[in-house]
Structure 1
Amino acid sequence: MLSGAIVGVAAALYAGAIGWLYFRQERLLFEPAKLSPDVPISSDADAHEFFVDVPGARLSAVQMRLPNPRGVFFFLHGNSGNLKKWFVDLDVFRGANFDVVMFDYRGFGKSTGEIVSEEQLHCDVETVWKHVAPMYEGKRVVISGQSLGTGLAAGLSARLCADGRPPDLTLLVSPYSSMKALSAELYPWVPARVLRYPFHTLDCAAKLLGPVLLIHGEKDKLIPIHHAEKLFEVLPSAQLVRVTGAGHSDVHQFPSVRQALVAALDEL
């Protein structure tokens, strides 16, 4: 009787934990940092803030606007912080004569609202892109993401390819083959059906046209490099830059990453 009671209690606790994960997983996936409306995202003279209205929210965005750019670098950031953390070290883009556009997801920085689904995130990405895309008709387009943002970037690039407007380059830094696969590695005790943000990056990657650049730290423990290798397998024309000694959060600090980025932009 006692063992049966223990099993029952354990089952109830497990079910409760799974239920909590299903309804509250945004707390695990996203780590937003609010930013006061009166705090500038950047003090750079060529940085221009703007907002994009989406259903139920207003998204904060920033654009590095050059006089006559060759193109645009549309970047989707990771799961933490806000634009003040991500909109930095832009000299490489000035040197390549590329504008840079970024925005904060709902609840991040100055953006209002809250994230409630993967579909909502993809819709927000597309809305912001459609807001700025007319400025870059006839110019080079780079769609890029880092960490969490790689699934969103691959999704946007795949949709542009389907519409007959493939980007000139898709750049994914520290990508995952899918959030579903990554979750299974990190939390094997959690049923796959519980995950409401599967982010099928691999499926999107298979639909990409044009050049793709993958950059991944060889010592990344959060998203191991084999995820980038799986993407590379379905993208025979892609380039995979393995960053020796780099982990997950420091990969951008390595000179080889800057060199690869400069080379890729110069070729466009």
Structure 2
Amino acid sequence: MYEGSISNAKIGVDINALWRRALTLVAALAGSSYLAALAWIYCYQETLIFQPDPLPATYRFALAEVHEVDIPVAGATLSALHLQLPNPRGVVFYLHGNNGNLATWFSNVEFYREANYDLFMFDYRSYGKSSGRIESEAQLRADVLAAWHSVAPQYAGKRKVIFGRSLGTGLAAGLAAEVQPDLTILVSPYCSMTQLMHSHYPLLPTWLLRYPLATCQDASLLRAPLLLVHGEQDRLIPVTHSEQLLSVAPQARLLRLPAAAHDDVHRFSAYTEQLLAALQTL
């Protein structure tokens, strides 16, 4: 009886030790998987942030008074479209969102005809007919600046407007802080990509993000008017981001669209009316 008790105790100790070893192994495997996932996200986050839609090199845009432009940059050529009116008031330099290409983004040309503004828009690397691939925020910002310098000198003495939408708002604010246009328009902007990442993926460390795109920081440096447009039903980038931008840029004005979400702000008449008024009063 006594010997049997000792034997049972030893078995209990062995079972506990096995459980501890098993839990340690599971924890180690989970930790290794988590670290592997972090490493993958750090190295390949471009596939998560950017969603390019390539076009064949033979694709042609059939739009009246719109010219195709090639912009040479380090290691790539950017594809751009340029609406050129007979005697425009100025130019709108447009930085689009994270998906699609010029075939989908270069739309509503009649709006710019009515406002009497030329429109210039380019595809980021790997989007549309643009070659190369996006590798860093510094490279992306350098491409934006190169595109600006390719067109801005043509509008000396005329109005220059920098327009960004969604992903493009961070790039637009950075460019505007550097070149100080007559007007900056940010539609569905974020205060920073870091903040946006934290709100959507709170378990991921923010140091992973190689594209912080600090829109609020850049907007605080603007001296000319800033128009913010945001849908109050936007779940991807909540309107609180525009409210933060409003707090750092005293000259800014926020157009809130109560029924709009992220992808449909352009379908509301208040959006079109306010943009037209902003352009024509410059």
Q: Identity over aligned residues, as a percent?
A: 50
In 1, distance between residues paired with 2:58 and 2:268?
Answer: 33
Is 2:38 the counterpart of 1:18? yes
Aligned twin of 2:200: 186
3-state DSSP of counterpart to 1:141: strand
2:92 is aligned with what amino acid? F
Q: TM-score, normalised by structure 1?
A: 0.97
Q: TM-score, normalised by structure 2?
A: 0.92
Deviations 1:62-120 (A, max 9, x none): 00000111100000000001000100012121111100000000000000000000000
In 2, distance between residues paired with 1:44 and 1:200?
Answer: 35
1:247 is aligned with what amino acid? A
2:42 is aligned with what amino acid? Y
Aligned counterpart in structure 1 of residue 120 of structure 2, from 95, 101, 104: 101
- What's the CA shift for 1:124? 0.2
Name structure 1 gaps, 5 residues minimum: 161-165
In 1, distance between residues paired with 2:197 and 2:265?
Answer: 21
Deviations 1:3-51 (A, max 9, x none): 111111110110011000000000000000011122223x221110010
In 2, distance between residues paired with 1:176 and 1:220?
Answer: 11
1:252 is aligned with what amino acid? H
In 2, distance between residues paired with 1:254 and 1:17?
Answer: 41
In 1, distance between residues paired with 2:109 and 2:131?
Answer: 26
In 2, distance between residues paired with 1:194 and 1:228?
Answer: 24
In 2, distance between residues paired with 1:257 and 1:13?
Answer: 46
Aligned twin of 1:140: 159
In 1, distance between residues paired with 2:140 and 2:257?
Answer: 29
In 2, distance between residues paired with 1:24 and 1:249?
Answer: 26
After superposition, residues 196-235 of structure 1 pair within 5 angstroms as 196-235=210-249
Aligned twin of 1:66: 85
In 2, distance between residues paired with 1:44 and 1:57?
Answer: 25
- What's the CA shift for 1:155? 0.3
Is 2:141 the counterpart of 1:122? yes
Name structure 2 gaps, 5 residues minimum: 1-20
In 2, distance between residues paired with 1:179 and 1:75?
Answer: 19
> Runs of at least 4 residues of structure 1 off by over 3 A?
none
Per residue, is there more helix in 1 or in 2? Answer: 2
Is 2:51 the counterpart of 1:31? yes
In 1, distance between residues paired with 2:257 and 2:110?
Answer: 21
In 1, distance between residues paired with 2:66 and 2:149?
Answer: 20
Aligned twin of 1:244: 258
- What's the CA shift for 1:260? 0.8
Aligned twin of 1:78: 97
3-state DSSP of counterpart to 2:77: strand
Deviations 1:160-190 (A, max 9, x none): 1xxxxx2110000000000000000011111
3-state DSSP of counterpart to 2:69: strand
3-state DSSP of counterpart to 2:175: helix
CA RMSD of aligned residues (A): 0.7
Aligned twin of 1:157: 176
Query: Size of the alignment, in residue pairs?
Result: 262
Is 2:103 the counterpart of 1:89? no
- What's the CA shift for 1:251? 1.2
In 2, distance between residues paired with 1:5 and 1:179?
Answer: 36
